[in-house]
A and B are shown apart, each in its own frame.
Chain A
């Protein structure tokens, strides 16, 4: 057993963990932080991404399946559960909602944390930079398009309300159905 102490989502914890424990398993099984999930064994999918401070105190995105819990000793970790106070949303979470950037939602915690990390590095990214910045996070549902829109929208929101683009383009139907509203045959 190894003794670790760390801060997760604003709460200080001190625990004994088997040295082989991965950070993601420590978060999920010992702290109950089940918002962070495991999608693969090979650090390809990024579903487990959290922010962890480096020795200089800078928060960086890490794949918590590739970090041992003991490596988080003395660090500060932020998961998707700690991004915003209960009942509120972080601007990136809000942008994901507005732009319909999630479907099944399994990749979403990691994708959001990777996006937060990306925007901390590049507050005003191009679409190309967003696509490359999220390369380490896989999504099978969305085709990424609305995720990219959401990250760009969150960046724009941070620059001020005038820069926020319209929500995801929704094409109007070519030939709307002529139908009187709320007529129901009973």
Chain B
């Protein structure tokens, strides 16, 4: 214990506790769960985008060796219920039924239509081939604008429209700013652009997997999910099983990035299958199934208009979005664009703002949260458009930002979108980034190469981002019609030997909670890092929580930990005073112990109090013999990390090839609990954003077939495809929480995409190129040059 008596844990680059099992292959992935008598589930999926099911027959599958049962949507129509959408963003939103197994109609390629349960996985997969389905084709619906046209074929005929909703924010109506129409009529400069956010696949490395064991008093569900607590609640609501009879376990989970923030058709089908056979059932998707069925992200058309004065001062922003919902609504599908709605004004002082989003149904896999969820899209559009504004008035992209950003002495600052940014220092982050980057030198090199007519041009891309994360103040979620709150919970259990169990309601899948939470508890209670065990992801242990997404674990869950620890100390204080024969108010908690003021050698640790509590022989009257405490924290505000990312790209004007030469990320995530983990989050986030800029796109053909159905066609970058990231930080502590922390999980992804595309466009601007559509493949870059060629 002595090490922690003198050294703070928070801020240390602790190596992770999680690593030991992950490095040696002792990890408990859901796919590794094996139970006595366990059977295997395979799912038949629609090969077409849109069709009526006119006949479906599983009888031949039932005759195959080792097959225990097979069933269709019609067989379970009365019990399968409908998958939930927890975010009906408007009163008149269209909320179509979403059966786990299609009954009469399929609406995207890959939709589940029948299931087989067999003794082993191979038998189940083989038996799928014996299922006969007749499909009567219906027209696919793929183009967002065409889908909204009069007479367009409908995804959900009973709704009479492909429009899901229209949601509007207007600063004049909200009282948070002026009228965009006035800004429009008075504008000296107007920048009007359309950007397309291509469809992406979250592409977590661990395929989704679920095991359902119906044999115990509780039905136990293991799932590779980000949201075990939400899943339990939803399973109860969908199936009618009482909530206390369901136990959900998220064991080790191999990445999520929002892609495992979902209640899956496959989870329900496995649940139904296990109920039918009365035995444990396992389902693990193949990667091809994952590409078809796991939700996708992004897929928006953004029309953004900036109004400005001749000197580049912004006077208004107008945004119109079309957001592709896909065929159904997932758990937060309609709300994803709303998470961006508050971010188009970004770090800038904007007098007037209007945002309008229309959600559109198409015959494609549903979209939902993917790393950043709404905020990367918003940040991309505004950061790209700010570069266009800079070019229009002939100033450097950094200068246009300086003229418009909120200065550090202006915090707290209430934006035109109605958010109050508690803290930030955009000047400091930008100064540090430009210095690390060598901005002036690279600009000089760019000028030389331009003058020399170098076929390989150099471009510099700027992205000065902020984002709202740490989801979320429950009252705000309520005002946005989200179906749940945004609190998080923690429990501290001090064991008789002074060791500590910390139960967290947030559910990690690679973020390093076990390490970071131990660091927080160690500092709070004066217990050694090694003496703390972090427990999570099993509703029998962690009965309550709202899980992990939206960069919320530390900024919400971490504060719950602090509060639970403080309750423990409050309970320990009278006990320590009793043992030290002094009054509780004579004690101070310092150096990891309660010490008598003026007599620092008279001290009791929390562990010593815990032993006294365990024996309970000698406690003050009326004191509960327990040092355990729970706390639930509901944030009053979001957290607002920010930073400046700079990218230097070399663009071959003859081939269209792009090479990222230098990438600098300076992020301000407030106080840092573990710099190694923060740096890792930045690296990974930045590379996912680079991947959107350069490599990734989920593509459907004109019939609605997913062309990018595997990792052969959906091109995740490898180590050879990405640059070294130079990352550094500034530290402006958040004032909205006692740790001073801000979220970091999504920041890199939000920041990096516009930095890269701005660099590419900057390289090509002398040729007349003003945009390249993502992903900026060599072909797209070459086409962009060809289109402007004289």
Residues of A within 8 A of B (CB): 18, 20, 33-42, 44-45, 47, 79-81, 83-84, 89, 93, 96-98, 100, 102-109, 112, 127, 130-132, 134-148, 167-168, 170-171, 173-177, 181-186
Contact = CB atoms under 8 A, between A and B. Distances in A.
Given A102-B19, A135-B719, A174 B731 contact: yes
Contact of A140 (B8, B32, B716, B727): B716
B725 A104 contact: no
Contacts of B710: 40-42, 44
Given A41-B710, A45-B205, 4 more contacts: A104-B253, A141-B684, A173-B731, A185-B566
B204 A171 contact: no
Given A104-B205, A182-B592, A170 B23 contact: no
Given A80-B25, A96-B19, A44 B719 contact: no
B351 interface: no
A106 B428 contact: no
Interface of B: 6-8, 13, 15-16, 18-20, 22-27, 29, 31-32, 122, 203-207, 252-255, 257, 286-288, 428, 432, 509-512, 523-524, 526, 565-566, 569-570, 573, 589-592, 671-672, 675-677, 679-680, 683-688, 710-712, 716, 718-720, 722, 724-725, 727-733, 740
A103 B255 CA distance: 8
A182 B590 contact: yes
A108 B676 contact: no
Contact of A186 (B22, B257, B589): B589
A36 to B, nearest CB: 7
22 contacts: A18-B122, A35-B26, A41-B286, A44-B712, A80-B25, A97-B15, A100-B677, A102-B19, A105-B19, A105-B22, A105-B23, A138-B716, A140-B204, A140-B688, A140-B716, A143-B686, A143-B722, A143-B725, A144-B718, A170-B13, A171-B729, A186-B566
Nearest to A18: B122
Contacts of B26: 35, 81
B592 A139 contact: no
B428 A174 contact: yes
Which of A81, A108, A146, A185 gathers most chain B CB within 10 Å? A108
A145 B725 contact: yes
Contacts of A131: 718-720
A38 B253 contact: no
Contacts of B254: 37, 104-106
A42 B714 CA distance: 12
Contacts of A182: 8, 523, 526, 589-592
Given A34-B32, A103-B510, A134-B719, A174 B730 contact: yes
Nearest to A44: B711
Contacts of B730: 173-175
A36 B25 contact: yes
A142 to B, nearest CB: 5
Nearest to B683: A143
A135 B720 CA distance: 6
Nearest to A175: B731
Contacts of A40: 287, 710-711
A112 B23 contact: yes
Given A93-B23, A138-B718, A174-B428, A105 B729 contact: no
Which of A100, A148, A175, A185 gathers most chain B CB within 10 Å? A100
Given A105-B27, A144-B687, A181 B570 contact: no
B39 to A, nearest CB: 14
Which of A130, A142, A174 gathers most chain B CB within 10 Å? A174
B590 A41 contact: no
A97 B16 contact: yes
Given A140-B255, A181-B8, A184-B524, A41 B510 contact: no
Shortest 8 CB-CB distances between A and B: which pairs?
A35-B25, A104-B510, A105-B22, A106-B254, A143-B687, A143-B683, A44-B711, A103-B510
A113 B8 CA distance: 36
A110 B22 CA distance: 11
A31 B85 CA distance: 42
B590 A173 contact: no
A175 B206 CA distance: 39
B510 A105 contact: yes
A37 B23 contact: no
B29 A38 contact: no
Nearest to A9: B25
Contact of A144 (B511, B712, B722): B722
A139 B203 CA distance: 10
Nearest to A186: B569
Contacts of A79: 25
B517 to A, nearest CB: 16
Given A39-B207, A44-B712, A134 B252 contact: no
Contacts of A107: 205
Nearest to A92: B23
A37 B224 CA distance: 14
Contacts of A42: 287, 710-712
B428 A142 contact: no
A35 B680 contact: no
Contacts of A137: 718-719
Nearest to B523: A182
A148 B718 CA distance: 11
Contact of B257 (A41, A89, A140, A185): A140
B711 A132 contact: no
Nearest to A128: B720
Contacts of A98: 15
